[in-house]
Structure 1
């Protein structure tokens, strides 16, 4: 009897080596980044909407008599954000550059409005929202998108003029502009958003190729600034000391983090089942926002949390792939800045839930409840989709597409013919 080839199993199907080669070939296709961004976004949105309903149902029945109150609001924000994402995915690069300065100005104005007595609203020690009657808007989320666009446009212009070889042209006016946004956010005592803005700033410097000495100096300055922000606010010091001593104050300072760990631990490998979690029964504060990852871990177990981590990992890979493959400096910088924003925010949120980072109060992108965070994030992801179309070979692949997005996706995966 003839021996079975090493690369095929008994059924004649491809063996492990051919499967690896096929997977590598799949990642090398022109539209890989496009479909990864789109697929990860859709799956995170679907998971987020489901978990907002599960995490908020008990509290909303008590408060409003309906379990669907926050679910309906989140669905409405999603219905607004998805068309914005679709529109952004079809915009040319020059439009994003044209939006940079108006969006920066708008972000500065509404961040200043937060500090006006009677307009700003506080929660959890931070003043983050502007009260506009029926809705409350969180301007700092727009500030993240504004810094990505403005910083990318500014550095792209300086790159064209050859002004990025010296530290002064590299940092001016990027550092003062980013500093103004950070200052306005700091005045509202929002450390989490401050960290994300500073991450975007450092990410832009890294991508543009800032000298190592300058980058290390800026990173040190950021660490010093964050340390000062922690020391000057008593509640932040309490969070930090609670993080360093998790066994103490479990009924006060460490209550939320302790309950989050209990929720994760009770989920086990496969979880208690969707809707069957116990932490949302008035045990875990902010279950539908800052600590929604703990509810995912409780109801879907370790498997569910790994799926979420994998989706954000794929999103990070796709964003960095776009930044590496496009040739336009603005596109490269904006793609890297948007990716750093979303992925680092996810890392900070998840790190706080699993107690490897202090609690900062920022949401999990696309998953946590809140329209102010969701809409700018979807616009940024639409921008990444627009940039993915500019990768080598992507336009040709799109021009030869089939009759619909489902068939195109299946064809990309090799599961259907065009």
Structure 2
């Protein structure tokens, strides 16, 4: 081996190999998936997509289940098998128009509708008690006939009226810094709510009265009512509720059917037990769409109050959990809208609508599962009934409008442009008339070329 210029042998250097580096924690696929999901969850338009997509899926699935659950009932009444489905589809079409209008209305116009909707709801609820105008359905005097097979239940519009009017009232008092005084927090909100409750209870509909009470407590909680105030109002409501239950044998019988597994003497718990039978026979994936056995006359109100039981029988546990997940997503989105806004009216209205839909879903599903007494309230957006569907879809339109009005959502929507539209620039050149697309840096750079260059 030849030596170096100094005559010394060359020094052999040892090459050190880098030690094996452990995989960074950030490269963990589970961690990456969690990070991506969290980023997607925190995007400005997440609440908008959840409200719009969740309500759309619930309504479409509800239409399918109404058609499946109501066929036998319609045939037993010597009606076409699609009779109830067609009425529900008509109501859903009108509700979709109301949802679209409400989602495009400014907040000031929503506030302007508060008093007219309240006055109209009170007038119609009082009109129900007029002999010859109001009609009784299943023992409740809460309906007005519109001619033919069409009826309307004004108490359903009372929920929307309480949400809008209560939100406007509390927002105006907050602007004047009056909510620190308990009398301004209670008056006139609680007296007007009790007036609506009284009109509803004149017809005997305690289920709807419970929903209105939940809306009232939701508004008070959002307004920051102290605990002693909650206890006082809750004590009054609970006392009145106990009196109304004790004085009604029908309500006492429903209360005794909680957790029942046998119809009992006189088949007092027939509906509750057969709802459990329907859920139990569905299994994991159900017996198949349209293959329910309980809807063949065994389960009363299969397409209205107990449609969730038919869903469990035909679509199984997977179907019922999907419905629960959609309602949970809708509730989360409503809470997110109420929590991120700086407008008091938006916060109260969004919280009131979320309380309304969530409480009604919990009461309906709890009754079907045998965990709560049967209150006779429909599953929002899902059960048959146009009177319940129309105000609920208008309320969903409110949530969509509020979600679009968030600062981050407004900025995200402002970055979007019509796919096929053309925006004219100040100079009116051919380049200015081209559709703007800002999806990639390459497209952004190509937009700077003159109009004649390709």
| TM category, shorter | over 0.9
For residue 156 of structure 2, what is the aligned residue in structure 1? 141
Q: Answer yes or no: is 1:368 the counterpart of 2:383.
A: yes
- Seen in structure 2, the aligned counterparts of structure 1 residues 209 and 295 have a Cα distance that, compared at 3 Å, is same
| Range with greater deviation from structure 2 (342-351 or 110-119) | 110-119
TM-score by length of 1: 0.92
For residue 430 of structure 2, what is the aligned residue in structure 1? none
How far apart in 1 are the matches of 2:43 and 2:155? 36
Is 2:260–2:272's contact at 8 Å kept on the other side of the alignment?
A: no
- Work out which of the residue numbers 83, 103, 111 in structure 2 matches 1:97: 111
Map 1:11-410 to 2 at 5 A: 15-134=29-148, 135-243=150-258, 247=262, 249=264, 252-401=267-416, 403=418
For residue 414 of structure 1, what is the aligned residue in structure 2? none
How far apart in 1 are the matches of 2:419 and 2:56? 17
- Secondary structure (helix, strand or coil) at the match of 2:144 reads strand
- Secondary structure (helix, strand or coil) at the match of 2:215 reads helix
- Secondary structure (helix, strand or coil) at the match of 2:113 reads helix
Q: Structure 1, unaligned stretches of length 5 or more?
A: 406-416
Structure 1 residue 225, shift from structure 2 partner = 1.8
RMSD over aligned Cα atoms: 2.0
How far apart in 1 are the matches of 2:229 and 2:216? 13
TM-score by length of 2: 0.85
Is 1:55–1:280's contact at 8 Å kept on the other side of the alignment?
A: yes
How far apart in 2 are the matches of 1:127 and 1:232? 18
How far apart in 1 are the matches of 2:231 and 2:256? 27
Is 2:285–2:315's contact at 8 Å kept on the other side of the alignment?
A: yes
Structure 1 residue 393, shift from structure 2 partner = 1.1
- Secondary structure (helix, strand or coil) at the match of 1:189 reads coil
Structure 1 residue 392, shift from structure 2 partner = 2.6
- Secondary structure (helix, strand or coil) at the match of 2:143 reads strand
How far apart in 2 are the matches of 1:116 and 1:162? 42
Structure 1 residue 96, shift from structure 2 partner = 0.8
Is 1:199–1:341's contact at 8 Å kept on the other side of the alignment?
A: yes
Structure 1 residue 336, shift from structure 2 partner = 0.1
How far apart in 1 are the matches of 2:278 and 2:419? 42
Is 1:325–1:392's contact at 8 Å kept on the other side of the alignment?
A: no
Larger Rg: 2
How far apart in 1 are the matches of 2:229 and 2:35? 41
Structure 1 residue 147, shift from structure 2 partner = 0.1
Structure 1 residue 167, shift from structure 2 partner = 1.1
Q: Structure 2, unaligned stretches of length 5 or more?
A: 1-19, 421-442, 445-454
Count of residue correspondences: 403
Q: Which is richer in helix? A: 1
Structure 1 residue 251, shift from structure 2 partner = 5.3
- Secondary structure (helix, strand or coil) at the match of 2:281 reads helix
**Structure ranking higher on relative contact order (CA contacts 8 Å, 6+ apart):** 1
How far apart in 2 are the matches of 1:68 and 1:245? 33
Is 1:267–1:302's contact at 8 Å kept on the other side of the alignment?
A: yes
How far apart in 1 are the matches of 2:338 and 2:163? 13
**CA deviations over 1:246-282 (Å, ceiling 9, x no partner):** 5452652100011100000000111001011111111
Is 2:259–2:370's contact at 8 Å kept on the other side of the alignment?
A: no
How far apart in 1 are the matches of 2:299 and 2:22? 56
Stretches (4+) displaced over 3 A: 2-9, 244-248, 402-405
- Seen in structure 2, the aligned counterparts of structure 1 residues 254 and 162 have a Cα distance that, compared at 3 Å, is same
Is 1:6–1:15's contact at 8 Å kept on the other side of the alignment?
A: no
Is 2:334–2:351's contact at 8 Å kept on the other side of the alignment?
A: yes
